[in-house]
């Protein structure tokens, strides 16, 4: 949860609590209930987002370790063995060292997984010659197993990252919905508190929202006053008897 969304959540909680100090809140019960739900959902999304962010970072470290192990402990021995194997193999397999070439980019996980299976195929195809060169008989199976586990790690991290992004999107949606509810509450509550300057000032401070430009798009964030349409002030003051200032 980034800073703006944390400020939203803090503002929503302040706005929710202020009307509860009054004896009558039935006039704004529905938007307050909606705001309750928004606060709960934002909190849940924030926890999920943070948890998955930590987990994907841990998976990134694990994937890096697995990649280094695959290169160092399996592909490199097979690559070195191929240099002694190809002179002893018939049918023009002198190109074996070229076939068994490490991916040029160390961070290209997809290329590494594909290369690992290509290495395993070559070792399996010339199993007898590679055994003479010193590799265990099950070396191709070891490479495949490690490659499959490596791909599984990548897939798991991708799924976790998709869930994290869904939580991030959920936070954005709930933030926008919360701002709309705060604007509605402001239009309903402010006319009711005009006879109590102290509580009106407290309410205005709690509902401050400003717009900042982020990437060329105006994004509302809690700071400046909500612009309440004065044309509806008279109408809202007659709704449901209003809030008691006692």
pLDDT of residue 101: 85
Helices (H), the chain: 3-17, 29-69, 76-85, 96-99, 109-125, 127-133, 139-189, 197-206, 233-236
215 or 13: which leads in pLDDT: 13
Sign of CA dihedral 192, 8, 13, 177: positive
Task: List pLDDT tens digits, range 89-107.
Answer: 555 455 676 778 888 887 8
Half-sphere exposure of 178 (CA within 13 A, CB side): 33
Whether the CB-CB separation of 119 and 78 falls below 8 Å is answered with: yes
| Across 100-104, 156-160, 227-231, least confident range | 227-231
pLDDT of residue 29: 86
Task: List pLDDT tens digits, range 106-153.
Answer: 789 999 999 999 999 989 988 888 998 899 999 999 999 999 999 999
> pTM for the complete prediction?
0.69
Q: What is the mean pLDDT of residues 70-75?
A: 95
Between CA 155 and CA 112 the distance in angstroms is: 14
Task: List pLDDT tens digits, range 170-209.
Answer: 999 999 999 999 999 888 888 888 888 888 888 888 887 6
Q: What is the mean pLDDT of residues 156-182?
A: 93
30 or 217: which leads in pLDDT: 30
């Amino acid at each position: 949860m980034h800073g703006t969304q944390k400020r939203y959540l803090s503002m929503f909680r302040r706005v929710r609590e202020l009307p509860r100090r009054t004896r009558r809140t039935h006039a704004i019960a529905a938007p307050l209930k909606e705001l309750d739900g928004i606060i709960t959902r934002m909190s849940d999304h924030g926890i999920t987002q943070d948890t998955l962010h930590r987990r994907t970072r841990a998976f990134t470290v694990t994937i890096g370790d697995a990649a280094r192990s695959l290169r160092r402990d399996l592909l490199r021995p097979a690559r070195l063995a191929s240099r002694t194997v190809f002179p002893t193999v018939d049918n023009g397999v002198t190109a074996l060292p070229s076939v068994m070439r490490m991916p040029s980019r160390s961070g290209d996980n997809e290329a590494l997984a594909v290369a690992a299976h290509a290495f395993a195929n070559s070792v399996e195809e010339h199993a007898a010659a590679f055994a003479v060169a010193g590799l265990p008989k099950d070396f191709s199976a070891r490479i495949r197993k490690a490659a499959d586990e490596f791909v599984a790690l990548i897939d798991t991290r991708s799924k976790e990252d998709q869930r994290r992004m869904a939580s991030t999107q959920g936070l954005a949606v709930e933030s926008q919905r919360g701002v709309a509810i705060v604007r509605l509450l402001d239009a309903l509550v402010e006319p009711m508190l005009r006879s109590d300057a102290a509580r009106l000032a407290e309410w205005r401070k709690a509902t401050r929202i400003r717009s900042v430009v982020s990437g060329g798009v105006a994004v509302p964030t809690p700071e400046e006053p909500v612009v309440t349409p004065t044309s509806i002030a008279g109408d809202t003051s007659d709704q449901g008897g209003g809030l008691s200032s006692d």
